[in-house]
């Protein structure tokens, strides 16, 4: 068994069970690049302030770069007895460059080191996630532009409410993604503060140049309180919270795609490449519906899984909040539990955003079904009420009159567009021929020209602005 860097004060060996229980190497090895990057900056700074010599620093930096190559190439063997990525790399460094490797950890603790590593890692991931969000936004805009004339029912309470442009509906998700993007940008700001130099908890007796390290690593500035530096995981929680809101949006969208692709709606059809059948089993060259008793099925598994994965992303947020809730200052080993929740959140939201774009690009949109669904459901009843208002009737009264007309239509199995002018006039004298145009679906949509409204004119205007936003 390798002796541990901290084994000085210990007489007995660590119990095998404890060794495994304590270790985080199985998951924190993914931080190796960032750990090495941080160590290089630290070694350079130690030489700069004269704690180690330039020669020693160069040797350490060279060794660290070599180790990175070893890990990149899959040649590095990770074992439990090395506990975590920080110790694994430090141990290997001493093997490679000799006892000078032991100088790297001067004026540093794993407590400030791990905080640094997570921040370096998260910065990269946030940037990547923001790019993925932009991509999805571009797809939404693309599909919205291609289907500009397409009208569908808009819903409240999942009841058909008023006709809207399909593009307007898609762009609602664009706006949500825009806020998600901004939330990650806000999170990035608080990630981008450099904790190294806090030591174990109290700061360092060495004349460290923390500004130099911050600059070297592209941080905005060093942190201001050593205790806070090593015990802060707000930035992980914030990240998981932004991720939860993001995936909540993706889940709502997925839910709509699932509904829309059902036979009952029939608004869209997901491409075969993004759907699955029920349990096809390959026998020889032939495909046969082995376990499935439903050969007709085409399932929207992809949006269902996105919706399903929302659960674990929320769970990760709660796991982190709960882990942190009663920890006294400063570092506690409980905090090692931050990583799996964080990594799983990163992986999950990335794969979900990634898969939605091609799925949207390849889905078929059934414009006729969408448009037909706007008919017969009195979706322009509000427009008829507004018509009466324009003729001078107070809104409440107009509302009541139209309500009566709708009841009459239901009783006589008629749509608003089936009514003759004579019938309209039974309910109010002020109706004239004009009402026919008012209750047309297109008129209804295009009358909503207000900023943010669904009229073609308003949507086109917003699209122009958006094009500037996502350039
Ligand atoms: N593996 C640890 C973690 O992830 C690193 C910090 C350990 N520090 C300590 N003093 N035991 O939190």
Residue closest via CA to ligand 1's atom 12 equals 336
Q: What is the dihedral of CA 112, 196, 317, 180, to 10 degrees?
A: -170
Q: Is residue 206 in a domain?
A: yes
**Domain termination residue (choose one: 88, 106, 124):** 106
Asked whether the CA dihedral 287, 292, 294, 299 is positive or negative, the reply is: negative
Q: Which of 30, 111, 115, 332 is the best mutation target for the ligand 1 pocket, counting ligand atoms within 8 Å of the beta carbon and taking the most? A: 111
Residue closest via CA to ligand 1's atom 11 equals 333
The domain tally of the chain equals: 3
Say if residue 420 is exposed, middle or buried (CB neighbours under 10 Å; 0-12, 13-18, 19+): exposed
Q: Which domain holds residue 147?
A: 112-372
Nearest to 133 by CA among 191, 192, 194, 188: 188
pLDDT at 471: 84
Q: Which atom of ligand 1 is nearest to the CA of 335?
A: 12
The per-residue pLDDT for range 42-65, each reduced to its tens digit, is 999 999 999 999 999 999 999 999
Q: 150 and 166: one domain?
A: yes
Q: 167 and 259: one domain?
A: yes
Q: Is residue 168 in a domain?
A: yes
Q: Is residue 1 in a domain?
A: no
Separation of CA 81 and ligand 1 centre (Å): 14
Q: 273 and 394: one domain?
A: no
Does residue 1 register a pLDDT over 80? Answer: no
Q: What percent of the chain has pLDDT over 70?
A: 96
Q: 412 and 326: one domain?
A: no
Separation of CA 335 and ligand 1 centre (Å): 8
Does residue 284 register a pLDDT over 90? Answer: no
Q: 149 and 264: one domain?
A: yes
Q: Which of 22, 114, 201 is the best mutation target for the ligand 1 pocket, counting ligand atoms within 8 Å of the beta carbon and taking the most? A: 114
pLDDT at 79: 84
The per-residue pLDDT for range 200-247, each reduced to its tens digit, is 999 999 999 999 999 999 999 999 999 999 999 999 999 999 999 999
Q: Is residue 2 in a domain?
A: no
Does residue 293 register a pLDDT over 90? Answer: no
Separation of CA 34 and ligand 1 centre (Å): 15
For residues 120 and 213, is the Cβ–Cβ distance under 8 A? no
Give residue 2's pLDDT band: very low, low, confident or very high (50, 70, 90): low
For residues 270 and 297, is the Cβ–Cβ distance under 8 A? no
The per-residue pLDDT for range 352-362, each reduced to its tens digit, is 999 999 999 99
For residue 437, what is the domain's CATH number? 1.10.40.30
**Domain termination residue (choose one: 337, 355, 372):** 372
Does residue 83 register a pLDDT over 60? Answer: yes
Q: Which atom of ligand 1 is nearest to the CA of 85?
A: 1
Q: Catalytic pick from 34, 39, 157, 244?
A: 157
Higher pLDDT, 292 or 151: 151
Separation of CA 111 and ligand 1 centre (Å): 6
Residue closest via CA to ligand 1's atom 4 equals 336
For residue 80, what is the domain's CATH number? 1.10.275.10
Q: Is residue 159 in a domain?
A: yes
Does residue 191 register a pLDDT over 50? Answer: yes
Q: Is residue 23 in a domain?
A: yes
Q: 384 and 362: one domain?
A: no
Separation of CA 357 and ligand 1 centre (Å): 39
Q: For ligand 1, which residues put their CB under 6 angstroms from it?
A: 24, 28, 84, 110-111, 114, 333, 335-336
Q: 180 and 95: one domain?
A: no
Mean pLDDT (the chain) is 94
Give residue 36's pLDDT band: very low, low, confident or very high (50, 70, 90): very high
Separation of CA 171 and ligand 1 centre (Å): 45
Residue closest via CA to ligand 1's atom 3 equals 336
Give residue 279's pLDDT band: very low, low, confident or very high (50, 70, 90): low
Q: 290 and 424: one domain?
A: no
**Domain termination residue (choose one: 372, 399, 421):** 372
Q: Which of 116, 333, 334 is the best mutation target for the ligand 1 pocket, counting ligand atoms within 8 Å of the beta carbon and taking the most? A: 333
Q: Is 105 a catalytic residue?
A: no
pLDDT at 296: 73
Q: Is 278 a catalytic residue?
A: yes
Does residue 260 register a pLDDT over 50? Answer: yes
User: If you count them, how many residues does the chain have?
Assistant: 471
Q: 174 and 318: one domain?
A: yes
Separation of CA 337 and ligand 1 centre (Å): 10
Q: Catalytic pick from 278, 292, 440, 447?
A: 278
- Phi, psi of 296, rounded to the nearest 5 degrees: -80, -10
Does residue 290 register a pLDDT over 50? Answer: no
For residue 356, what is the domain's CATH number? 1.20.200.10
The per-residue pLDDT for range 437-458, each reduced to its tens digit, is 999 999 999 999 999 999 999 9
Q: 199 and 173: one domain?
A: yes
Q: 364 and 392: one domain?
A: no
Q: 139 and 272: one domain?
A: yes
For residues 70 and 121, is the Cβ–Cβ distance under 8 A? no
pLDDT at 331: 98
């Amino acid at each position: 068994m390798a002796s541990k860097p901290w084994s000085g004060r210990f007489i007995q060996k660590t119990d095998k069970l404890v060794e495994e229980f304590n270790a985080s190497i199985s998951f924190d090895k993914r931080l190796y690049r960032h750990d090495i990057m941080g160590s290089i900056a630290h070694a350079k700074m130690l030489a700069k302030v004269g704690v180690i010599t330039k020669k020693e620093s160069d040797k350490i930096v060279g060794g660290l770069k070599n180790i990175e190559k070893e890990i990149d190439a899959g040649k590095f063997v990770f074992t439990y007895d090395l506990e975590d990525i920080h110790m694994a790399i430090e141990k290997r460094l001493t093997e490679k460059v000799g006892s000078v490797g032991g100088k790297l950890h001067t004026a540093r603790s794993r407590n400030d080191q791990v905080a640094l590593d997570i921040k370096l890692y998260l910065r990269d991931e946030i940037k990547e996630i923001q790019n993925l969000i932009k991509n999805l936004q571009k797809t939404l805009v693309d599909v919205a532009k291609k289907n500009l004339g397409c009208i569908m029912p808009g819903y409240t309470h999942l009841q058909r409410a008023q006709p809207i442009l399909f593009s307007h509906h898609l762009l609602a998700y664009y706006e949500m993604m825009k806020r998600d993007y901004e939330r990650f940008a806000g999170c990035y700001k608080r990630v981008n503060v450099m904790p190294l130099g806090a030591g174990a908890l109290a700061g360092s007796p060495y004349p460290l140049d923390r500004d130099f390290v911050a600059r070297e690593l592209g941080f905005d500035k060093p942190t201001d309180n050593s205790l806070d530096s090593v015990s802060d995981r707000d930035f992980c929680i914030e990240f998981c919270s932004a991720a939860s809101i993001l995936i909540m949006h993706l889940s709502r969208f997925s839910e709509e795609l699932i509904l829309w692709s059902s036979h009952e709606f029939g608004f869209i059809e997901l491409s075969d490449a993004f759907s699955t059948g029920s349990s096809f089993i390959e026998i020889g060259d032939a495909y046969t519906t082995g376990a499935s008793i439903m050969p007709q099925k085409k399932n929207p598994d992809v949006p269902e899984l996105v919706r399903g994965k929302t659960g674990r992303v929320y769970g990760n947020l709660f796991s982190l909040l709960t882990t942190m809730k009663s920890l006294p200052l400063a570092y506690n080993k409980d905090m090692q539990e931050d990583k799996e929740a964080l990594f799983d959140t990163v992986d999950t939201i990335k794969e979900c955003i990634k898969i939605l774009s091609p799925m949207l690009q390849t889905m078929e949109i059934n414009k006729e079904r969408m448009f037909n669904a706007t008919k017969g459901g009195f979706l322009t009843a509000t427009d008829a009420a507004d018509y009466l208002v324009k003729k001078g009737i107070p809104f409440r009264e107009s509302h009541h009159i139209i309500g009566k007309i709708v009841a009459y239509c239901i009783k006589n199995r008629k749509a608003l567009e089936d009514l003759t002018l004579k019938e309209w006039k039974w309910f109010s004298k002020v109706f004239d021929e004009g009402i026919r145009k008012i209750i047309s679906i297109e008129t209804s949509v295009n009358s909503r020209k207000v900023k943010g409204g669904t009229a073609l004119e308003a949507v086109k205007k917003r699209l122009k602005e958006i094009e500037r936003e996502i350039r």
